[in-house]
Amino acid sequence: MATTSDFRNGMVLEIDGDLYSLTYFQHVKPGKGGAFVRTKLKNVMTGAVVDKTFRAGEKLDEVRLVRKPVQYSYTDGQFYYFMDQETFELIPLPAETIGEEQLQYLKENMICEALTRDDKPLSVELPFFVELEVADTEPGLKGDTAQGGTKPAKLETGAVVQVPLFIEIGDVVKVDRRENKYLERVSS
């Protein structure tokens, strides 16, 4: 059990059967009435962010989640299979658990992190920065520069990002998957 005075960013709490990661908190002591704590909580499973207020000193269940490396192997259309890098067991996870925004960047043999509770995988987090090959984009023209504008490029996993005009099909680019943003060309 933890109280509101134990709050820290990244702490995982169980509230009404769901797991939430604490992303922000602020202790408030108004001039009139009791103290309270404003929080922003991110659902570990769905990624939804909610605002919640707790009375000062309120007790909550703290949950210890373990991060372990897993490698994406394949999908059978229904489940996505990840191999535990320590035990070499295959872990099947449905698409809803991984999240649509992450699936568009998931590539075979990618090393990810599984969040587990009592050795049961709850979710998977992809690396923040991924390197992917450009599968389709309009051809660049001579004289195009990095400052000259952007164009859409479809990556090998199906994700579409805006890239500089000089990027061509076959180039490998580094992308920040959280913002769906091109960072740099890795190789051409």
Give the predicted TM-score (pTM) of the model. 0.73
Asked if 54 contacts 26 with a C-beta cutoff of 8 angstroms, the reply is no
Residue 144 has what pLDDT?
A: 53
Structural domains of the chain, with CATH:
2-63 (2.30.30.30), 66-125 (2.40.50.140), 129-187 (2.40.50.140)
147-160 burial, b for 16+ CB within 10 Å, e for fewer?
Answer: eeeeeebebebebe
The amino acid sitting at 108 is E
**Positions of the chain with pLDDT lower than 50, given as ranges:** none
Q: Roughly how many angstroms between the first and final C-alpha of the chain, as a whole number?
A: 53
Give the separation between CA 158 and CA 20, rounded to whole angstroms: 30
pLDDT at 10: 83
User: If we measure between CA atoms, which residue out of 86, 125, 120 comes closest to residue 106?
Assistant: 125
pLDDT at 1: 84
